[in-house]
């Protein structure tokens, strides 16, 4: 891989500005800063960096729906399409009151890097509707989804842009979206979205995939740092899809899961918790504290436990300048998206604590989404065993490439992952050129 010092012109002042700004930073700031930062390690055409700073297109639509009481309410929806040089756009759709244009652009950029580091033939996108889904009935959510699907219909499609579930949306949302799209096209087109229920073309193993990939990366990181998984202690913040699946797999593989938490706090046992008997967020929300364990910890305390591996798998911006000096884990593996702020990242680098980044660790979700898309296009279902085997292979391939970059260059794990991603994207742009 090309490693050369970048010309000064490639450095953008906002790189350092963003890194020093008051936390927490927005997704767009983080995504742009990470782009500049990776570019400093590469001999890459400044014009390509310039292009990657901007989304290709952002669709903003008005989504009126009839509420159950007969009134009409109007919401705003977005689909930000960042870059498609390597393939169709891919990324989630979220229903959340704080969805904004800029957030979609930033998260869309993140998806571009994530797909590239995994070498998936996709670009990055993100979208959503600024709405509180908890205030909508199921029928209202269905009307919102169908109308939103209609508004963005021209912008999506199985070879154009493929949405997936994200915050506030789920397989049912994807089923409505796929149905609305298919009805208008006059044929069933399962490949227009991923994360669907398996009965209409969803993939087996999709739900647990991000947690599974986190577990695989934790296992490989333990090996890389010459620890024994049977002796390794692991603390995991968040016991939802990512946290609980990662915890249970690592538990099955011999690791000692000493602490897990949900929004209310965590349970702690230095001898290791029985992760299968602690209900996940989806089995019973907020039930972690009800589990019988010798000790409880707050979420802040969990992040500072003396463990081999810490996995923040709940929220963004939880490892900050305030607590980074107090973190005692030997290795951090990011399960959530963006759990480490730039300031915390610098402190961990100074302290020599490796942070394996989200774009690699939790990329199992988009990878199995890719498998789902392949199954849809080929009209052929894969067994769960095949999904697991192929995910394992994809994760190990990506891990090896990032690890080689980490070992060869004097860079952090995050830089290594971004260098891999950006090189692939830049090479594709160079090969295709700029037209007209």
CB of 4 to ligand NAD, least distance (A): 32
User: Would you say how long the chain is, in residues?
Assistant: 436
Q: Measured from the CB atom, is 77 or 266 closer to ligand NAD?
A: 266
Report whether 308 contacts 270 (CB < 8 A): no
CA distance 195 to 202: 6
In the bound state with ligand NAD, the residue whose beta carbon lies nearer, of 357 and 411, is 357
Q: Is 204 a catalytic residue?
A: no
Q: CB of 358: closest distance to ligand NAD in angstroms?
A: 7
What number of helices (H) and strands (E) belong to the chain? 14, 12
For residue 392, give both structure tokens.
Answer: 């394992």
Give least dist CB 224 to ligand NAD, A.
22
Residues 6+ apart with CB under 8 A from 203: 194, 368, 369, 371, 372, 375, 382, 387
Cis before 24 (ω within 30): yes
CA-to-CA dists, residue 298 to 128, 237, 315, angstroms: 32, 10, 15
Q: Which is nearer to ligand NAD, 88 or 91 (CB)?
A: 91
Q: Closest distance between ligand NAD and the C-beta of residue 240, in Å?
A: 2
**9 vs 11: CA distance, rounded Å:** 5
Q: What's the rounded Cα separation, in Å, for the pair 173 and 196?
A: 8
Nearer to ligand NAD, 36 or 370 (CB): 370
d(CA 347, CA 160): 41
Structure tokens that stand for 363 in this block: 């990329």
Residue 39 Cα distances to 278, 415, 428, angstroms:
43, 10, 15
Nearer to ligand NAD, 88 or 238 (CB): 238
| Residue 114 beta carbon to ligand NAD: minimum distance, rounded to whole angstroms | 9
Which candidate in 126, 141, 196, 204 is catalytic? 126
CB 48 within 8 A of CB 62: no
**Distance between CA atoms of residues 73 and 117, nearest Å:** 41
Nearer to ligand NAD, 169 or 423 (CB): 169
Q: Which is nearer to ligand NAD, 35 or 360 (CB)?
A: 360
Provide long-range contacts, Cβ within 8 A and 24+ apart, for 68-73: 68/137, 68/139, 68/140
Burial tier of 346 (Cβ tally within 10 Å: 0-12, 13-18, 19+): middle
CA distance 63 to 357: 35
**411 in Cβ contact with 418 (< 8 Å):** no
**Which residues are near ligand NAD by CB under 6 A?**
210, 237-243, 261-263, 281, 286, 299, 313-316, 335-337, 362, 365
DSSP state of 224: H
Residues 6+ apart with CB under 8 A from 328: 304, 305, 306, 307
Closest CB 266 distance from ligand NAD, rounded Å: 8
Comparing CB distances to ligand NAD, the nearer of 68 and 283 is 283
Tell me how far, at minimum, the Cβ of 361 lies from ligand NAD, in Å.
Answer: 9
Residues in contact with 365: Cβ distance below 8 Å, sequence separation at least 6, in sequence order = 164, 206, 209, 210, 213
The residue of the chain with the least Cβ separation from ligand NAD equals 240
The catalytic site residues sit at 126
């Amino acid at each position: 891989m090309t490693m050369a010092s970048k010309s000064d012109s490639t450095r953008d002042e906002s790189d350092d500005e963003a890194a020093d700004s008051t936390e927490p930073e927005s997704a767009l700031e983080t995504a742009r800063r990470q782009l500049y930062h990776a570019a400093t390690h590469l001999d890459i055409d400044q014009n390509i960096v310039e292009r990657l700073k901007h989304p290709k297109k952002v669709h903003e639509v008005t989504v009126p729906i009839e509420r159950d009481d007969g009134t009409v309410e109007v919401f705003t929806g977005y689909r930000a399409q960042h870059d498609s040089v390597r393939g169709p756009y891919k990324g989630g759709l979220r229903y959340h009151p704080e969805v904004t244009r800029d957030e979609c652009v930033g998260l869309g950029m993140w998806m571009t890097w994530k797909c590239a580091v995994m070498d998936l033939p996709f670009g990055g996108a993100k979208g959503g509707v600024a709405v509180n889904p908890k205030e909508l009935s199921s029928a209202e959510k269905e009307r919102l989804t169908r109308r939103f699907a209609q508004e963005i219909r021209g912008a999506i499609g199985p070879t154009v842009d493929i949405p997936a579930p994200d915050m506030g949306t789920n397989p049912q949302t994807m089923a409505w979206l796929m149905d609305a799209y298919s009805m208008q096209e006059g044929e069933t087109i399962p490949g227009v979205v991923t994360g669907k229920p398996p009965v209409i073309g969803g993939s087996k193993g999709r739900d647990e995939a991000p947690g599974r990939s986190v577990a695989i990366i934790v296992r490989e990181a333990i090996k890389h740092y010459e620890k024994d998984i049977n002796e390794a202690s692991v603390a995991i913040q968040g016991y939802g899809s990512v946290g609980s699946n990662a915890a249970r797999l690592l538990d099955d593989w011999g690791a000692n899961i000493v602490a897990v938490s949900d929004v209310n706090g965590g349970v702690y046992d230095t001898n290791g918790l029985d992760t299968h008997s602690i209900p996940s967020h989806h089995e019973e929300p907020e039930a972690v504290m009800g589990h019988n364990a010798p000790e409880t910890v707050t979420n802040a305390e969990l992040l500072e436990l003396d463990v081999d591996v810490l996995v923040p798998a709940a929220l963004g911006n939880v490892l900050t300048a305030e607590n980074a000096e107090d973190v005692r884990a030997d290795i951090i593996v990011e399960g959530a998206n963006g759990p480490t702020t730039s300031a915390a990242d610098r402190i961990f680098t100074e302290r020599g604590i490796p942070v394996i980044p989200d774009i690699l660790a939790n990329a199992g979700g988009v990878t199995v989404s890719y498998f789902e898309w392949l199954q849809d296009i080929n009209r052929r279902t894969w067994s769960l065993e095949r999904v697991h085997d192929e995910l394992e292979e994809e994760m190990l391939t990506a891990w090896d490439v990032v690890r080689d970059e980490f070992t060869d260059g004097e860079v952090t794990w995050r830089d290594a992952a971004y260098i891999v991603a950006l090189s692939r994207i830049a090479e594709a742009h160079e090969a295709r050129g700029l037209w007209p």
